[in-house]
Structure 1
Amino acid sequence: MTIRDLVGVIRTRWRLIALCVLVVIGATAASTLMTTPVYEATARVYLSTVKPADDKSPGGTYAITQKDLNTYVAILGSPAVQDPLRAELGLAPGTGIDISGTVSELTNVLDLQARSSDPQRAADIANTAGPVLADAAKKFSPLLANNNQVVEAEAITPALAPAEPISPKVKTNLAMALLAGLVIGIGAALLRHVADTKVRGDEDIRKLSDRPILATIPFVKGSDGPVLTLADDPHTHHAEAIRRLRTNILFVDVTTQGHSFVITSSNPGEGKTTTSVNLAIAMADAGSKVLLIDGDLRNPSVAKTMGLEGSAGLTTVLLRRAEPADVIQAWRDTSLHVLPAGQIPPNPSELIGSEAMSQLFQKLAQEFDYILIDSPPINPVIDAVLLNQLTHGLIMVVASERTRRRELEAALRSLETVEVPVAGFALNLATGARSAAYRYGTYGYGQTAAVHGSRAAKKSRRSDRRGLSRAR
């Protein structure tokens, strides 16, 4: 992975990274607030031996050794020091006292460190520990007792009440939490990126195919099923994206020299039927005589989506129980006509690949300017390949954040095996930045916007009519 790829992952999944940072910082802050603060105070004392003033016995003064100092440090936690220290401080018996010491290597200087949740108590413990330790020293030094000498503690640097605790260190903890959160967040983002197999945008499609992306169709918020935006709400970004798809198909039409297309997808649930219906309405709006055929004889849905009768249709004609004119239905007051699937047959593939289907399509192609076929998905069945033999182009609908890359790759591989080229892709259900300028639902349309949208739509229709005329 390059630096550019890493930056792209961070930009794409910044919310996950931010969430990890916030969680780690929040947990650290809560833990820090719940931790009892510990204050440390240090007193530096000098230990020396002297004889009592009333002692006239001969003999020299005993010098305290490093061994003695280490002994004094070792007994700081013993009852010999702790009990008199509690008494001096007025603490209850059994109260814990945290006191430790550090011995100077060259002098009889001893640093006494006291820790407590109360800064003033920490200072009092450190300042009192020196004299108390000096009183207890004679018990642990036989030579001092034999020479009738005592230890005195002289304060060199008295302990002061500390202003800040030594634990917890709030700034350090939060800084470490920020760093840990970033590391965890970036790691989680990279892990999710590696494990993510869904098609997210145009880049994922381009990695699998060099065929053009004809349109990016935004996700319609608040919709639970198929939406007919071209008919019900023609001034939305979704409707404009469908018109863009219609316009770009004109260029495909020029290169293929045909006026019929199969609309399919790699798997169910990617919005191919909704795209087919809206595209057919858009083509009819441009003044063309359009026929939409429901070629999904396994799970037909065009008639239901458009509110039409679907009991008779394509299968009825193929069984010679009706003529095409008897079952083809005009949709509202438009030049769009619909041929439903009819009854579901036991042998869909055989019917689609039959000579009767070929003759029927040739006849319909002479009556309509454009024919669109809503076909079954590619991966489950072969029907789309059979229908493509009748038409002049295959449009693949890919659902953003729903279609998996391996499924799309498998579909493209199946088409490549039988030498069926993809005319172009329609990235459907795009959200956020992926929908670019087509994003639907970001802001509302007022009367002014509707007027401008109507003018733009009329201008688009005039342009498409000229294009359709040239194509024919």
Structure 2
Amino acid sequence: MNKLVAIAIRHWKPLILWNLLVLGTTITIAALAPRVWMATTQLTVPGSKGNLDASLGVLGSLKNGGADIAKSGDSKLKLQESILNSDTLMEKLLANDPEKAKFKRLTLYKQLFKVSIEESSPIISITANGSQPELAKGRANRLTELFQQRLNELRQTNRNSRRQFSNKELEESHKNLLSGQQSLAQFQQSSGLVNADEQTKSIVSTIDSLTKSQSEALSQAAYSQNRVATLSTRLKMLPDKAIRSLSLGENKEYQFFRGKLSEVDANLASIRSKFNDDHPLIQQLLQQRETLLNQMKSQIQQAAAGTAIDTTVSSEGEGRARLIEQLILAETEASGQQRRAQQIQIQLNELKANLNSIPARQAKLAELQRSVDVAEGVYKGLVAQVQQTNIDVFDVYPNVEVLDTPRVDSKPVSPKLSLMVLNALLGGIIGSVALLLLLERRNPLLSPQDLQDMKFPIVVSIPRLKTAELIWELDDDKQVKFQRLASAVSLQPLENRRLLITSAMEGEGKTTVTLGLARALVDLGFRVLVVDGDFFQAELSSKLGYIPQSHSAPTPIVIEPQLDLLPAIAQQGKILKLVSRGQFKKALADAEAHSVYDYVLVDTAPLSNTTATALMTAQIPNVLFVVRQGISYSNCVRDSLEQLAQHQAQILGLVVNGVETAAKPYMQRLPDGLMSQST
């Protein structure tokens, strides 16, 4: 985005000229274009007064009414539209038009009118254009009148072309209908059939439903039988044995005797540990035990009924008793479903017998019914056609009423200022983009690809700086950038420790880089002299608050500890003579003699503005070249580098100024604890 803005700012003059041209053209067209007024009117096509809806039986139905005319795309509305746009109607309208001489062809005249059908509505909208409001309104009125006349002509022609059916044909159709109805009634009475299709359909539907129910019952019975077999296998007993075993387990008397037997056995075991078997207590307990066993045996015999049962089944808990209950339920379910399937089979047999009892003369009955339906349909159709002719003479060409009389807006519809403004905006935008692309192609901004093939010992990017930051302290991130540049410069073998800092054009930040590099070298412990070599602008001296004196020789001025300034030499004659005759070299030597400097940084004028900068490379061959994103021109930078090469200058490094960066300084990314320790 910044690059686009920079390109637009570079070429602001051509852009303004182009947009002024578009604006002037638009204003001229708007002023000279002919004015056109539009008259609008609306017609409505109501439904027919007589609604005919006659059923013809198997032959369908005959409908005549106004219900369908409101539907979008209705054939009758399309017919009205075709009549309005017909050449016959337009020729009559053109014959009486005040401006008929302007239209050599009927096609051109028809373009003044527009007929449209509103969606889902019986409304026809008509628009007529004219060079004057009265002319547009008159054309709309005349078109409506001629349309009504044309409809009356078409109705009269259609009415004369209709043919009525004779009474003889209608009576013959009625006799055929009565004869067919009589034959059908006699056959139904003799065969006992009223509606063979419905009866057969009902029986077949019932058979299908019962068949499905029977299949479901058999499936459920099979499922229950499988469940019975599974449970019997797990219990290792048949259902009858399981039922009797469960019955014994649920017998209260048996459970009581069993519980008492457990108590006697427990007492007997306890007493035997104290006495021998001849003791009276032991004998008494043995007798009780025998009695309980006999009573339990009696209960088992009653429950078993001569079959083997399991006497260990108990109704308490969720053990085998629960499985036996499930076995009983599954057997009951299987038996019930089988009985249900048998009952359904009985019903199926009855229905199939009833179906087979329907006479094979069903085809004869259908043929007679069909004959009656056809005869009835023919008779109703003849009657409906007779009634249609009598009750609705506007069936094909319905009545058309004026819903809204012609009206003309006071403002012309053409030319449309909003559309012209929109076109002007689009033309301005598209033309501006095309112009920018053309101009940028001829002299584009500097891009990284332009410097890709060039080799520089030092390449450093500097973030965007404000003017106030040149005087006060820089933030950590920007200090790091300049310190990196200073460190790289300090490692280079510079002749006389001098470095010339220049750029291709103004505004690329060479003075900013000079000050930033000087302060960074001071931070590294060097003593630095900055020299204002721009004899035209003296920008470095101005930024540091020093105004050159025209009658005094420049001497170093202390800016801050370890940093001095040699102001620009006051202009006396031509600048080229100042450099070529050695005055600049002498001033530089005098300044170095004033004090011992580790580095001398010379801020010069842009190479594209003067050749004095290129001549300075004879005394200061090491050059630090500065470019800036969005400002530097590719061609200008290339020419400046070629100029330095011709003067045998050595490009020590490249500084890319004004680079946008979102990264935080290292110190800002440190945790608070580490920062406190580092300080």
Query: Normalized against structure 1, the TM-score is what?
Result: 0.52
Matches within 5 A, 1:162-173: none
2:502 aligns with one of 244, 260, 264: 264
| Corresponding residue of 1:316 | 553
Residue from 282, 307, 310 that aligns with 2:545: 307
Over the aligned positions, Cα root-mean-square deviation in angstroms equals: 5.5
> In structure 2, which of residues 648, 655, 659 is the aligned counterpart of residue 419 of structure 1?
648
**Equivalent residue, structure 2, for 1:404:** 633
Secondary structure in 2 aligned to 1:262?
strand
Match runs of 1:236-251 below 5 Å: 237-251=477-491
Query: What secondary structure is seen at the aligned counterpart in 2 of 1:245?
Result: helix
Change in CA separation of 1:418 and 1:385 when aligned onto 2, cut-off 3 Å: same
Which structure 2 residues correspond to residues 23-42 of structure 1 after superposition, within 5 A? 41-42=72-73
Q: Contact 1:219–1:439 (CA<8 Å) still a contact in 2?
A: no
Which structure has the greater CA radius of gyration? 2
* Paired AA for residue 399 in structure 1: R
Corresponding residue for residue 123 of structure 2? 122
Contact 1:214 1:425 in 2 (8 A): yes
> Which residue is equivalent to 1:43?
74
1:284 corresponds in structure 2 to 522
Contact 2:617 2:647 in 1 (8 A): no
Distance 1:142 1:389 in 2: 112
- Cα shift readout 1:339-375 (whole Å, capped 9, x = no counterpart): 1124222133323233464466457288211110011
Letter in 2 for 1:259: R
Letter in 2 for 1:247: S
Per-residue deviation, 1:292: 0.7
* 1:219 match: 464
- Verify the 8 A CA contact 2:446 2:630 in the aligned structure 1: yes
Q: CA 1:296 to 1:289, structure 2 compared with 1: closer, same or farther past 3 Å?
A: same
For 2:620 and 2:676, how far apart are their aligned partners in 1? 33
Which residue does 1:345 correspond to in 2?
A: 572
Q: Tell me the distance in 1 between the aligned counterparts of 2:6 and 2:504.
A: 30
Counterpart code for 1:348? I
User: In the alignment, is the contact (CA less than 8 A) between 1:297 and 1:345 conserved in 2?
Assistant: no
What CA deviation, in whole Å up to 9, does each residue of 1:117-176 have, x standing for no partner?
x74343999xxxxx99886425567984999x9987469xxxxxxxxxxxxxxxxxxxxx
Alignment of 1:329 onto 2:557: yes
In the other structure, the counterpart of 2:511 is: 273
Q: Which structure 2 residues correspond to residues 45-124 of structure 1 after superposition, within 5 A?
A: 74=86, 115-116=117-118, 119-122=120-123
1:200–1:213 Cα change, 3 Å: farther
Match of 1:395 in 2: 624
Q: Which residue of 2 aligns with 1:192?
A: 436
Tell me the SS of whatever aligns to 1:41: coil
The answer as to whether partners of 2:6 and 2:630 remain within 8 angstroms in 1 is no
* Cα separation, partners in 2 of 1:14 and 1:303, compared to 1, 3 Å: closer
User: Which of 586, 599, 623 pairs up with 1:370?
Assistant: 599
Q: Which moved further from structure 2: 233-242 or 398-407?
A: 233-242
The residue type equivalent to 1:383 in the other structure is: A
Secondary structure of 1:423's counterpart equals strand
What CA distance in whole angstroms lies between the structure 1 residues aligned with 2:572 and 2:482? 32
Deviations 1:400-425 (A, max 9, x none): 32232222222223223323242222
Question: CA 1:97–1:287 in structure 2 vs 1: closer, same or farther (change >3 Å)?
Answer: closer
CA contact (8 A) 1:263 1:373 kept: yes
Cα shift readout 1:285-341 (whole Å, capped 9, x = no counterpart): 21101111112223323222112363279x716xxxxxxxxx211112x21111112
Per-residue Cα deviation, 1:56-82 (whole angstroms, up to 9, x for no partner)? xxxxxxxxxxxxxx98983896799xx
Unaligned 5+ runs, structure 1: 1-9, 17-35, 47-69, 81-95, 100-113, 126-130, 156-180, 318-326, 459-472
Distance 1:203 1:288 in 2: 36
| 1:137 alignment partner AA | L
Counterpart Cα distance in 2 of 1:362 and 1:354: 14
Aligned to 1:374, what secondary structure does the other structure show? Answer: strand
Structure 2: gaps of 5 or more residues: 8-39, 43-69, 93-111, 127-147, 165-388, 398-424
- SS of residue in 2 equivalent to 1:330: strand
The superposition leaves residues 82-124 of structure 1 with CA deviations (integer Å, 9 ceiling, x where unpaired) of xxxxxxxxxxxxxx9976xxxxxxxxxxxxxx513x7434399
| Pairing partner for 2:660 from 431, 435, 453 | 435
Q: Secondary structure at the match of 1:275?
A: helix
Query: How many residues are matched?
Result: 318
Q: Which has the higher helix share?
A: 2
Q: Is the 8 A contact 1:235 1:454 kept in 2?
A: no
Contact 2:508 2:632 in 1 (8 A): yes
- The CA deviation at 1:257 is 5.7
Percent identity reads 17
Once the two structures are superposed, what CA deviation does each residue of 1:23-82 show, in whole Å capped at 9, x if it has no partner? xxxxxxxxxxxxx9x999211369xxxxxxxxxxxxxxxxxxxxxxx98983896799xx
Q: Contact between 2:614 and 2:643, CA under 8 Å: does it hold in 1?
A: no
Distance change (3 Å), C-alpha of 1:193 and 1:282:
farther
- 1:393 Cα shift? 1.1
Structure 2 CA distance, aligned partners of 1:453 and 1:206? 43
Which amino acid is 1:420 matched to? A
Mapped to 1, the partners of 2:457 and 2:676 lie a distance apart of 27
Question: CA-to-partner distance for each residue in 1:408-454, whole Å, 9 max, x for gaps?
Answer: 222223223323242222222x2xxx4234799xxxx89999x9699
Letter aligned with residue 372 of structure 1: L
- Which one-letter code corresponds to 2:581 in the other structure? S
State how far apart, in whole Å, the 2-side matches of 1:299 and 1:201 are: 28
Cα distance in 2 between the residues matched to 1:383 and 1:408:
17
> Helix, strand or coil: the match of 1:120?
coil
Q: Residue deviations 1:258-282, cap 9 Å, x none?
A: 6211111222333222221222122
Counterpart residue identity of residue 368, structure 1: Y
Q: For the residues of structure 2 that align with 1:123 and 1:454, how far apart are their CA atoms? A: 88
CA distance in 1, matches of 2:616, 2:676: 36
- Picking from 449, 472, 496, the partner of 1:232 is 472
Deviations 1:167-200 (A, max 9, x none): xxxxxxxxxxxxxx99998997575344223535
CA distance 1:373–1:183, change in 2 (3 Å): same
Partners of 2:550 and 2:571 within 8 A in 1: no
- Name 2:418's counterpart in structure 1: none
Output aligned runs, 1:135-150, within 5 Å. 136-139=153-156, 144=161
Q: Report what 1:19 is aligned to.
A: none
Q: Match for residue 343 of structure 2? A: none
